[in-house]
Amino acid sequence: MLRNGDELRGNSGAIYKVQKRLKEGGMGVIWLAKSSKGFHVILKSPKLNGENDDIKIEKIHIENDFLSNLSHPNIVGYIDTIHHNYYEKRFIIIVMQYIEGERVKEMYWGHPASENEAMLIIVPILNAISYLHSLNIIHRDIKPENILMDGNKPVLIDFGAVRSGYKEAELVIGTPGWAAPEQLNGSAPSPQSDIYSIGALLFYMMTGKEPKTYLLEDGRLTVDPISLNRKMPRKMSEVVKKCLDVNPSFRFLTVTEIRDYLIAGENIDGVYSGVPRIIICGEVVPLVMDSYTIARDRTQGGTGLSNIEILEPGPIFYISRGPPSSGYLHLQKIGYEWFAIDINTGNGIFVLENNQWTRLEKNNPRRLNDGNQICFGYNTTQGPYMPFIYKKY
Ligand SMILES: Nc1ncnc2c1ncn2[C@@H]1O[C@H](COP(=O)(O)OP(=O)(O)O)[C@@H](O)[C@H]1O
Ligand SMILES: [Mg+2]
């Protein structure tokens, strides 16, 4: 259908030179190509072999429609659309961002993740799914082979099974062992169906085993996940069980509810087991790496809250892109405590203490206490600039 060396023109005018067939599924083929703009891209084409070709062509169309309208740091980036012919068939090929890293499937097969590793993947993926649900889109195929790592940033791919309202491709019901029972038996899929798959995904990451082995035919879980990995926090095991409830009404109600519970919830025995976190621009960012850099975006500096960016390592989310300003705030974990360090900021980093904003000494770590407010710059008439909160408990 496509051959190495083929040159295809996208709607944008860019030319894509096919380099290699990477993967072939039941419905589509994934190719690596080089854009005339100088970078690698992925081409996703329908797999035309005389079996249900028209359905596959329709399906890739729908996938293209959805992907081209999405924009989220943890969702694979849409780049372009190619209109192509093969014998008498006319169809489209999706051009998307190439993600070089490993799939979650290979990363944790037989190697359970630690709590922190799992949080680094699950929290951003929950953010991505929450974004989809806010647009009335159900993904319907959340599983470890549809999550790729772009450095240490997880990215959700494969919008071939998405559904919004009644708009969906035929023949699509999801993957047994990952999809919710109501999705597989043809009754109404809902956002709750994605929540079931999130439970299956978390089960896989925390046990290194496919949930399928432990599910009855009706989708019921037969094992307490913690019994397969004693290091798994009880709270996570409870989350998995609640997500995998066969009754959609008994699962978590929303994806953000799962996220917030994982970050801040209590264990079943009432013992607190929250992850230290900052709440910045209304986002809850769990501090699961050992250090973070928070900087202003130099290109828009000074215009308000919208230019905070969390940089490597561990960009859990970012609100704007662009080069950081030369001064920034460094958050560093030392032992069990978190410290704030002002690295050469012009306007200073301030912490609220005894109801007063006090300026940090440059390059001198300052231990943070539960509930501390921190800001970039303080002015007696204008107040704090870009404030956020550190929560330890
Ligand atoms: N953007 C991408 N970057 C890198 N690899 C990709 C990308 N998209 C897909 N792949 C690879 O191809 C596989 C199949 O792609 P996917 O979109 O999931 O198709 P299918 O609908 O056949 O499952 C993925 O599991 C992944 O290994
Ligand atoms: Mg897939």
Ligand 1 pocket, 157 CB below 6 A?
A: yes
Question: Is residue 127 a contact partner of residue 87, using CB atoms and an 8 Å limit?
Answer: no
Length of the chain: 393
Closest-CA residue, ligand 1 atom 1, reads: 98
CATH class of the domain at 7-97: alpha beta
pTM of the model: 0.85
The answer to whether 7-97 and 277-391 have equal CATH topology is: no
The one-letter amino acid at 53: D
For 36-92, write each residue's pLDDT tens digit.
999 999 999 999 988 889 989 999 999 999 999 999 989 999 999 999 988 888 999
* CATH fold for domain 277-391: Tumour Suppressor Smad4 (2.60.200)
The full DSSP string for 186-202 is: TS---HHHHHHHHHHHH
Task: Classify burial at 352, counting beta carbons within 10 Å of its beta carbon; exposed 0-12, middle 13-18, buried 19 or more.
Answer: middle
Closest to 203 measured CA to CA, from 238, 155, 253 = 238
Per-residue pLDDT, 325? 60
Ligand 1 pocket, 174 CB below 6 A?
A: no
For 140-176, write each residue's pLDDT tens digit.
999 999 999 998 889 999 998 888 765 554 555 788 9
Per-residue pLDDT, 267? 61
SS3 state at 342: strand
Strand 366-367 versus strand 356-359 pairing type: unpaired
Per-residue pLDDT, 313? 35
Ligand 1 pocket, 95 CB below 6 A?
A: no
In this structure, what is the dihedral angle of CA atoms 333, 335, 336, 337, given to the nearest 10 degrees?
-50
Ligand 1 pocket, 41 CB below 6 A?
A: no
> CA–CA separation, 24 vs 162, rounded Å?
19
Structure tokens given for 316: 């859990």
Residues within 5 Å of ion ligand 2, judged at the Cβ atom:
146, 158
Domains of the chain: which residue ranges?
7-97, 104-264, 277-391
Q: Which residues contact 354 (CB under 8 A, 6 or more apart)?
A: none
> CA–CA separation, 188 vs 198, rounded Å?
18
Share of the chain above pLDDT 70, in %: 88
Confidence class for position 251, pLDDT limits 50, 70, 90: very high
| Run of H or E residues at 290 | none
Radius of gyration, CA atoms only, the chain: 23
Q: Is the pLDDT of residue 117 over 50?
A: yes
* CATH fold for domain 104-264: Transferase(Phosphotransferase); domain 1 (1.10.510)
SS3 state at 143: coil
Closest-CA residue, ligand 1 atom 20, reads: 25
- How remote is the CA of residue 391 from the centroid of ligand 1, in Å? 38
Q: Is the pLDDT of residue 302 over 60?
A: no
